Amino acid sequence: MPKVSMTVNGKNVSAEVEGRTLLVQLLREKLGMTGTHVGCDTSQCGACVVHVDGKSVKSCTMLAVQADGAKITTIEGLATGNDLHPMQAAFKEHHGLQCGFCTPGMVMSAVELAKHNSNPSEHEVREWLEGNICRCTGYHNIVKAVQAGAKAMAAAK
Amino acid sequence: MYEFAYHKPASVADAVKLLAADGEAKAVAGGQTLIPTLKQRLARPTALVDLSAVRDLVGITVGGGKVTIGAMTKHVDVASSADVKKALPALAALADGIGDPQVRNRGTIGGSIANNDPAADYPSACLALGATIKTNTREIAADEFFKGMFETALKPGELIVSVSFPVAEKAAYMKFAQPASRYALVGVFVAKGPAGARVAVTGAGPSVFRWKEAEAALGKSWGVAAVENLKASASGLNSDIHAGADYRAHLIGVMTKRAVAAAG
């Protein structure tokens, strides 16, 4: 079986995987990091979004072997100790979730948007979240949270 | 997914060798179509040949009246390229509208074109701009490349190296996106370039095609007025739960007008 090595939330990890092992399976099943969710498992819902070398990707649509040597950030890697990341804090403040299942992917996706755009319009947020589906249909507060989180990230720099 | 072996060659020559040695091996570019296909067990390759380490396949060059994009260049990099935005803004805008941000962060132009999904965006730009597709063995004109639903002129084991788009005087792409998938229900790329006035339609038929009547009208006199009263034929168009053939034919007309208006 191929052996892969990568950095996950700043820690070096290695694991033996099959060619067909998905990145999300490596994270959840081998590394026990279950913050990244599997929703649709068909690349549509975005619950599984993580960052690979700083870019958001759907970890259900990437093989673990393809992430060999990469720098991965998951939802578990955002907070510093008990201090939530500004985007997480904004989701809490604006109640940007109902059941919470889609939230890890929403937050990871939003963090990449905020890196490019510190003051996104409602339209820009909704366009950016094209690949993140909330079946509670709680988008209204999610959009508010992303806008506030983006501003807070810029202010924290 | 069924099991498969995994290879990650560093050169086109090595990738071609691996594909030649095993007829059941498949090349993987960004994997945004292939991996979901494997997950549904709709394909059973013996091996995947991952092209992501082949540096020669990545990059954008602009010069000599052409924009040339390496096959493994990601949609996000085409969308955000200052050079592409300047030389062929319609192409950058098209790339910026593919799928969603996560798909654009992984998906590649070579993968999109080689797959030739009936609703993919890039094939319309290739056809309307009169692009040339360069492979490891030859150059293929876009007009000769897209053969049918998920079918291209590529031979088994042949790899796309780059795609060259002649810069057009005017060009624009307008897509009526299917609301859930964001694939083109109908997408129309119009261009007035070295190859004349061209109108390429994606999403509507089994494969991308040129709307010759609109091209003739725009060739005589470029402008919305030229296509105002043209009606596309519904014959042979796709019909599914999202839209019937008649509605798709109607959308071809609407999207063509919008694209011509946007191109100026």
Chain A positions touching B6 (Cβ under 8 A) are 2, 19, 63, 65
pLDDT mean across residues, chain A:
96
Which among B48, B103, B110, B39 is positioned nearest to B76, based on CA atoms? B103
Q: Do A113 and B105 touch (CB under 8 A)?
A: no
pLDDT band at B180 (very low <50, low <70, confident <90, very high): confident
CA distances B127 to A145, B82, B85, B121, B134, Å, are 42, 23, 19, 11, 14
Q: Do A66 and B182 touch (CB under 8 A)?
A: no
**Interface mutation target, options A40, A41, A59, A66, chain B, most CBs of B under 10 Å:** A66
CB B228 within 8 A of CB B144: no
pLDDT mean across residues, chain B:
97
Q: Do A2 and B100 touch (CB under 8 A)?
A: no
Q: Which two tokens stand for residue B184?
A: 């083109």
pLDDT in tens, A98-126: 999 999 999 999 999 999 999 999 999 99
Does CATH place domain A3-77 in 3.50.50.60?
no
What global pTM score does this model have? 0.96
Where are the domains positioned within chain A? 3-77, 86-156
pLDDT of residue B50: 98
The ipTM is: 0.96
Q: Which fold has domain A86-156?
A: DNA polymerase; domain 1 (1.10.150)
Q: Do B102 and A49 touch (CB under 8 A)?
A: yes
pLDDT in tens, B28-79: 999 999 999 999 999 999 999 999 999 999 999 999 999 999 999 999 999 9
pLDDT in tens, B210-251: 999 999 999 999 999 999 999 999 999 999 999 999 999 999
Q: Is A2 left (phi over 0), alpha (psi -120 to 50) or beta?
A: beta
Q: Do A46 and B4 touch (CB under 8 A)?
A: no
- Residues from A in contact with B at Cβ < 8 Å: 2, 18-20, 22, 41-44, 46, 49, 55-58, 61-63, 65-66, 68, 109, 112-113, 128, 130-132
| Chain A residue closest in CA terms to B52 | A66
Q: Do A130 and B5 touch (CB under 8 A)?
A: no
Please tell me the distance in Å from A151's CA to the nearest CA on chain B. 20
d(CA B230, CA B88): 27
pLDDT in tens, A22-62: 999 999 999 999 999 999 999 999 999 999 999 999 999 99
> What domains can you pick out in chain B, each with its CATH number?
1-54 (3.30.43.10), 170-263 (3.30.390.50)
pLDDT in tens, B188-210: 999 999 889 999 999 999 999 99
Q: Do A62 and B31 touch (CB under 8 A)?
A: yes
